[in-house]
DNA sequence: ATATAATAGTTTCATTCGTAACTAATTGCA
DNA sequence: TGCAATTAGTTACGAATGAAACTATTATAT
């Protein structure tokens, strides 16, 4: 007879989710507390900062958010004047999203903060470990995504 | 002049949260779809499976859930007959939580499923990488927790 | 002994989130 | 052309979540 035992502290999904939650909370302090940007909005902003002019569907794809969450974030951000929205000439359904001047200003303030935080976390690891982690996260991502 | 650039696909917090979400969704299929156990309830169950008789506060601590979430999960689980609750003799505020026979039965069905899933994911990695990942996750956890 | 503080847990309320149903625009095909 | 199917995005609604206020019990300090 085998004993059924699950040690949460050693269980990969639990450990990942724990880390993710703590890091998410720390990051939220950087953009929510200081700039009033909600998590979903920050993710949209992060996409538009690099890929100006894309549609809501592209944002959803790049952030792995669902389209409802993206739609809501976008509407808030238009409200806040962080982005502008027009519609594509060749397809009036498709939105064309861009950071406004204010949005880009905010983006450029937030990016160094979150990058500094990331660096801080990564500094807990040696260079070799950082490289390993990269490789490992890529492998895990491929593995879990394929099974979707 | 430095360009402000944040590549989401290379940003550690994003990658972790992506992985966590996909894995969480996969796992939920194992316990929610088949046994009607919600995420919060599964986490409580995982603690009680190993540590029978602990209080709600201990469950909250071990799962990193907040006490409101634990309270609700516990009430659902009492409703579902998955756990029993008494109160400690020496402190009538403190609950004493145990899996019921039904609860343990369910637990013993779920554990092998989630362990098989974890194994599946870990099989994407070599043994050496699995060891590295262990070490790295421990380091990261210590690093982020200390800054709380 | 009694008042105050602290602790365990619950309830309330406001927000967030996701699924499903919906509208509007476009595409495909007969 | 014209009708069905698809796609982009929004709205509506129910479930999950979190912060704050609350109840009940126990610990502490005078």
Per the prediction, chain A carries an average pLDDT of: 91
| Residue B76 banded pLDDT, cuts 50, 70, 90 | very high
Give the pLDDT of residue B25: 84
- Whether any strand D atom is under 7 angstroms from the Cβ of B33: the reply reads no
Q: How far is CA B106 from CA A14, A69, B80, B100, B120, in A?
A: 19, 34, 11, 10, 22
- The domain B11-146 is placed in CATH, from the list 3.30.1360.70, 3.30.300.30, 3.30.465.10, 1.10.10.10, at 1.10.10.10
CB–CB contact B23 A16 (8 Å): yes
pLDDT at A34: 86
* H helix intervals, B29-126: 34-35, 39-50, 56-63, 67-79, 101-122
A99 strand-pairing partners: A83
- B6 Cβ neighbours under 8 A, 6+ residues apart: A46, A49, A50, A111, A114, A115
CB < 7 A to strand D: residues 80-139, chain A: 91, 93-95
Express each pLDDT in A72-121 by its tens digit: 999 999 999 999 999 999 999 999 999 999 999 999 999 999 999 999 99
Question: Who contacts B14 (Cβ-Cβ below 8 Å, separation ≥6)?
Answer: A43, A46, B8
| Interface contact flag, A19 B46, Cβ < 8 Å | no
Indicate the pLDDT class of residue B98, thresholds 50, 70 and 90: very high
Rounded Cα distance, B95 and B76, in Å? 15
Q: What percent of chain B has pLDDT over 70?
A: 95
pLDDT confidence of A148, banded at 50, 70, 90? Answer: very low
**What pLDDT score does A3 carry?**
63
Residue B148: the pLDDT is: 40
Locate the domains of chain B by residue range.
Answer: 11-146
CB contact, 8 Å: B109 with chain A? no
Q: Do the Cβ atoms of A8 and B50 come within 8 Å?
A: yes
CB contact (8 A) between residue B137 and residue A19: yes
Q: Does A147 touch chain B (CB under 8 A)?
A: yes
Q: What is the rounded CA–CA span in Å between residue A70 and residue A61? A: 10
- Protein CB footprint (7 Å) on chain C nucleotides: 7-12, 16-20, 24-27
The residue among B96 and B29 whose pLDDT is bigger is B96
Instruction: Say whether domain A9-146 belongs to CATH 2.60.40.290.
Output: no
**pLDDT, tens only, A24-54:** 888 888 898 889 899 999 999 999 999 999 9
Residue B147: pLDDT over 70: no
Provide residues 110-139 of B with CB closer than 7 Å to any strand D atom.
none
A7 chain-B contacts, CB cut-off 8 A:
50
Structure tokens at B62: 């071990």
Give me the helix-helix angle, B101-122 and B39-50, nearest 10°.
100
Q: How far is the CA of A97 from the C1' of D9 (A)?
A: 13
Nearest residue: Cα versus C1' of D24: B93
DSSP state of A51: S
What are the structure tokens assigned to B35, written together?
């046994």
- Put simply, whether A105 touches B (Cβ < 8 Å) is no
């Amino acid at each position: 007879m085998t004993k059924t035992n699950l040690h949460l502290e050693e269980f990969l999904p639990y450990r990942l989710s724990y880390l993710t939650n703590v890091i998410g909370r720390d990051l939220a302090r950087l953009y929510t507390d200081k700039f009033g940007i909600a998590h979903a909005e920050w993710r949209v902003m992060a996409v538009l900062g690099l890929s100006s002019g894309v549609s809501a569907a592209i944002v959803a794809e790049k952030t792995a958010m669902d389209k409802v969450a993206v739609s809501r974030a976008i509407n808030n951000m238009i409200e806040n004047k962080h982005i502008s929205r027009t519609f594509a000439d060749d397809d009036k359904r498709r939105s064309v999203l861009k950071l406004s001047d204010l949005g880009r200003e905010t983006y450029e303030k937030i990016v160094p903060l979150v990058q500094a935080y990331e660096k801080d976390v990564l500094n807990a690891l040696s260079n070799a470990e950082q490289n390993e982690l990269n490789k490992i996260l890529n492998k895990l991502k491929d593995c879990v995504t394929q099974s979707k």
